[in-house]
Amino acid sequence: MVYLVGPPATGKSTVMALVRDQLGLVTGDWFRLWPDQHGEFRGQPLEDVISGEVRGLSLGIVREGGYSGTDAIGMASHSEALRWAEQADMPALVLGEGRRLGTIRFITAMARRGSVTLGYLWAPQDVLDQRCAARGSNQNMGFRLGSATQAQNTVNAARSLGAQVLSFDTSLVSAEECARDLARVAQGSARG
């Protein structure tokens, strides 16, 4: 699994879309991943753009503009995602990003099943403030700081589990460079 975490406005959705592009993957129609009473946990098959062969799974739903994300799935999705991570047959490659499943519990459950690489995207607070203002974000500072803390806690837990963590200051490194490095990891995971 390659999963992206970080505060809002660090470029997680943009980077994940570029990772898919670099891997030559498109997403198919979303579907429920785990049969539960809420049916909130959703994903999409990752299909080879040339052959149409399913090569993995994208967690979440691709939103308008082509951006995937777990934050687009329902609030009740976390408990279903944990059960899925603990019990489901895992595809060769799982991609995901976002706060909703970027938790210590979910990353730990996935690490018990296989290789996990966390992409940690961050930037100085003044850069994040400018990006949020430029995109017209209405997220308050408390939410944004809470998201940053959650991401850092998840990174620390992932490191303690022995998971690979690739850290990117997105004020210095382009989305394309981040995606290139993450796609290399994903290609190795899909083969392994």
pLDDT in tens, 26-62: 988 878 888 776 677 888 899 999 999 999 999 988 7
More confident of the two residues 68 and 117: 117
Amino acid at 185: V
Report the relative pairing of strands 42-48 and 31-32 from DSSP bridges: antiparallel
Residues 23 and 45: their CA atoms lie apart, in Å, by: 14
pLDDT in tens, 60-83: 887 776 666 888 888 888 999 999
Confidence bin at 192 (pLDDT 50/70/90): very low
Say yes or no to pLDDT of 190 above 60: no
Domain extent for 31? 2-191
141: domain CATH number?
3.40.50
| Residue 86 host element (H or E) | helix 77-87
State pTM to two decimals.
0.92
Note the pLDDT of residue 68.
Answer: 63
Greatest CA separation for the chain: 45
**By C-alpha distance, which of 57, 113, 119 is closest to 85?**
113
Cβ neighbors of 149 (< 8 A, separation 6 or more) are none
pLDDT in tens, 120-177: 999 999 999 999 999 888 888 999 999 999 999 999 999 999 999 999 999 999 999 9
Number of separate domains in the chain: 1
